[in-house]
Structure formats: structure tokens, C-alpha cells
Structure 1
Amino acid sequence: MARPCTTASYVERVAGPIAREMAPNTIRPYMSGVRMWMPEDRRPGMAKARGMLAEHRKEWGKRNRVRKAAATTEPMLHVMVDTCDSPSPAGLRDRCVVLVGRSALNRRIELADLDTDDIEVEDDGVDLGSPTRRPAGREGARAPSSWPPPHLPATPRSQPYGTG
């Protein structure tokens, strides 16, 4: 590449990574590096290249959108609980995580932040204490105080071992 480059040659240099379907966040530093390599008084214009990058970013976002997983249905929950239905400590832990996580609509980090002091197993279900640590941005969020909720009948799958 000639130094200093013209705006037209700069646009061609930016079009290459776009044509190769590189990520917009990869192209942006590349654009800056090429431009900063030029002498300060002879740097090429950025408007056309930024416009191309903006269009590429829109298309990239449409193609690479993160799709959320479908919600866990009741039959799916039963299958998950049945797979960890062993009386071993690990099986009990896994079963508790599946049931508490689904019922309280916890995210993985919230489940990981729970301590054994936060969970109290009772005859009629599980009481969730309020964890002392909360993920950022969730200060006002509250988990349900007990599970299963009073308006739902308890099922053998939601009962602690030995109570149903």
C-alpha cells in the first residue's frame, strides 16, 4: 500500500475485510491502524469507510443474532429431574439446582451464588433465603420466598426425598 494513501485506496483497504466477512469489531481497529500509519497532514477521509462499516455492522448483526433457547417445559423438567434421580449427594445437588433454578427463574450466576445457608428444605417444599450477594444490576430483584408456590400443588418430583 502506498504511503500516504488516498481516500479511494483507503476505502479499498476497508472493503477487503468486509468482503471476507470479518467481524465489525475486528475491522474497526484495522481501519484505525491503517489511518494512523499515514502522515498526520495526509490522512484519508473516513466518511465513506465508516458508512461501509456501519452497513456491514447491520448485516452482521442480522446474520449473527444470538437466539435465546426455548423455555423449559414441564415434560422437559420431568426428564431432567429423572436423569439426576439418584440418592447420591451429587444427584441430590443436581436435582435441587434444576428444581430451584427453574422455579425461582434463576440465572446460572444466581444459582452459583447460593450458599447452603440460603436454602432450607422443609416438609412442604424449599424455602429460599435471600442471598447476601446479588449480581450487578439485580439489587432490587427478589426470588420467591418458597417453592413450590402455595397456589401450585406439590408433585412427587418437587418433594424432598423421603417426604413423598
Structure 2
Amino acid sequence: MTNPNWDAVTRHLDALYEASEGLEALFPGRKFTLDGHLVGSIREVVAAYMFGLNLMPASTLGHDATAPDGRQVEIKLTQGNSVALRHASDHMIALHRPKGGPVRVVYNGPGGVVWDGCGKVQKNGQRVISLARLRGFDDSVAPSDRLTQLRPPPV
């Protein structure tokens, strides 16, 4: 992975959040959150930078990246209060970036613990877990079960 200008990345992300907020002001009652492929790509490149991950091709089913030690990693990023999962993963990294704020690691540990702690399957096939619950799980992760964070969050 190349080493992009992370100050420029941060400026562009902040502009996207500003645009989202502006659209919500123009259309009350409508949400213009940054999600889908945009957030998926953001989360993957940020986590790859932070943890030295090898990214899978976009839209690979099952996991987003492979860790240097071979663990398959699911990566989540939200600006909200929860994340949604479709399957259990070997390892999971959950990140949070509020509007105008820095990226924070909410969870870095085994994926099965998170899957078991999710709510029941929704109509869309996803199971949701709150960031508060993820933080609680993160407090119990043994250092040997974490991926080593090589760099601070770039944005």
C-alpha cells in the first residue's frame, strides 16, 4: 500500500461530512450518511495503514483483509453508535470516526466473541452490536489476541 498524504485524506473526509450535513439541513427528515462502498473503502485503507493488513479485492465475501500473521480480518467503521455484521469472522477491528473527530479503535480482537454478542438477525440478514458493547468486549481481549497497531490513526 502506498503512503498517501493523510492530511489531504483528512481534509477530503471532513468535506464529505460537511456535504452530508448540508444535505440533511436542506432535506429535513432525510439522512445522508456516508455509508456503503465509500465508508467500506475508507475503513479498509485506514485499518490497513494502522495494522499493516493486506487488503482483499473489493467486495470479497467473508473478510476484508489478512493480517501479517495470517488471521482473516473483518473491518467495520461507523460514525454512529453501532455496526452490523452478516457473519462471524476470525478477527474483527471496529473503528469509530465521529464528524470532525479522529478515528478511534473500538474493538480489536476475536470475531466470534462479537458475533455471539450481537442481536438477533434482522430482516436484511444483519446482526447489530452497539459500540458500547464492543468497548466492553475490547476491555477483555488478551494482548496476544490483538493485532499490533503499527501506526496511529491517520485521520
| Greater strand content | 2
| Greater helix content | 1
Q: TM-score, normalised by structure 2?
A: 0.31
